[in-house]
Structure 1
Amino acid sequence: MSPGPGPGPGPGPEARGTVRAAGCVLWRPAPDGGGVEVCLVHRPRWDDWSHPKGKIKRGEDPLAAAVREVLEETGHHCAPGARLPTARYVVDGRPKEVAYWAAEATGGAFEANDEVDRLLWLSPGEALVRLTQPRDRDQLTALLDTLPRT
C-alpha cells in the first residue's frame, strides 16, 4: 500500500502540488442547420482563446466544477456528455490537470466579467485556428469524434 492521499476527491493531487481544474468544450447546433458551433472564451489576463475551465474547489466533483465554470465564464447552462481527454501541462512551475467533457449549450446569455471579456461561437474549423494553445485542439478534435455525423 502506498503512503499519502489516494486519487479520490479532496486534497489528493493538490497535496503533491498538482493544480486540478475542469472544463467543457461547449457546443450548440449551428443556426443554419449545418453542423455545430463551438464556444471559445477570451481571458484578458492571459490574452488567450480557450475552452471554459477553472479550478476545482476542495471536495467538489470535477464534472460539477466543469458545469459551474461554463456557467460562470459563458453565462450558458449546459448538458454534459462524453468525457474528453484530460489536458496535462505546467503553469508557473506547477503541474496542472484539466478534466474536460463535451457539453451542449442549453440556454443562457454571455456577460463580460473580470475573467472573460469576450465569447465567440465558431465553426469547428474556425475554432481550431483561433485556439491559442495547441493542446486545446485535442479536446476539440475529441468532441467532434463524439458527435453524430450528419
Structure 2
Amino acid sequence: MSTTPGLPILAAGCVLWRPAPSGVGIEIAVVFRPKWSDWSHPKGKLKSGEEARAAAIREVLEETGMTCVPGAVLPTVRYRLQGRPKEVRYWAAEATAGSFAPNREVTRLLWLTPAAARTRLTQERDKELVDAFLTARGAGASHRATPG
C-alpha cells in the first residue's frame, strides 16, 4: 500500500456478477459502505507487495463473502481521495460461491440487474464501470435496457 504523500493510493476491485436466478440475464453485486455512506463495487487497498489481481479477489471475498473468477480487465479508475491521488484497477469477476454477512466495512450487498445497479451506484465512475463491463461481455444495450 502506498503511504507516501503524492504517490497514488493503489487499490483493486471487481464488477462482481452472477447469472440471474431466473435464468435470464445477469445480476451485479453492489455494496454499501457506511464509512463513506455510498454504494460501490467491492474494492480495497493493496497490501504491501500484493499484486492488484490478488487484491481484487481478496477484497471481493472480504467485502461480499463471495469467491470469484476474474475475467476481463476493466478500465483503471483514477481520482483524488482526501487530497491524494487514488488508482483502482478493476476486473469483471463471476461469483462462484459464498454468502454475504454484514461486516465492519460493508453492511449491505444487493444483487441487481445492470440497469438497477447503475442507478444504485453512488459515483459516476462506478456507473461507467457497469457500461465497460457490459461492453467487455459483449452484452451492451440488451442488459442496459433490462428493467430493474
1:122 equivalent to 2:112? Answer yes
The gaps in structure 2 that reach 5 residues or longer are 143-148
* Partner in structure 1 of residue 98 of structure 2: 108
- Tell me, yes or no, if the aligned pair for 1:14 and 1:20 is still in contact at 8 Å: no
* Partner in structure 2 of residue 76 of structure 1: 66
* Partner in structure 2 of residue 5 of structure 1: none
| One-letter identity of the residue aligned with 2:18 | R
| One-letter identity of the residue aligned with 2:49 | G
Structure 1 residues 37-48: aligned runs within 5 Å: 37-48=27-38
* Partner in structure 1 of residue 146 of structure 2: none
* Partner in structure 2 of residue 99 of structure 1: 89
- Tell me, yes or no, if the aligned pair for 1:42 and 1:50 is still in contact at 8 Å: yes
SS class of match (1:110):
coil
* Partner in structure 1 of residue 137 of structure 2: 147
Identity among equivalent pairs (%): 59
TM-score, normalisation: structure 2: 0.90
| One-letter identity of the residue aligned with 1:94 | R
SS class of match (1:17):
coil
More displaced 10-residue stretch of structure 1: 131-140 or 115-124: 131-140
1:23 equivalent to 2:18? Answer no
1:107–1:94 CA distance, 2 compared to 1 (3 A): same
- Tell me, yes or no, if the aligned pair for 2:13 and 2:60 is still in contact at 8 Å: yes
Take 1:129 and 1:94, find their aligned partners in 2: how far apart are those partners? Answer: 27
TM-score, normalisation: structure 1: 0.88
1:17 Cα deviation (Å)? 2.3
* Partner in structure 2 of residue 3 of structure 1: none
1:50 Cα deviation (Å)? 0.1
The gaps in structure 1 that reach 5 residues or longer are 1-9
1:60-83 CA-partner distances (Å, limit 9, x unpaired): 000000000000000000000000
* Partner in structure 2 of residue 7 of structure 1: none
* Partner in structure 1 of residue 24 of structure 2: 34
More displaced 10-residue stretch of structure 1: 137-146 or 24-33: 137-146
Take 1:80 and 1:55, find their aligned partners in 2: how far apart are those partners? Answer: 17
Over the residues paired in the alignment, what is the CA RMSD in angstroms? 1.7
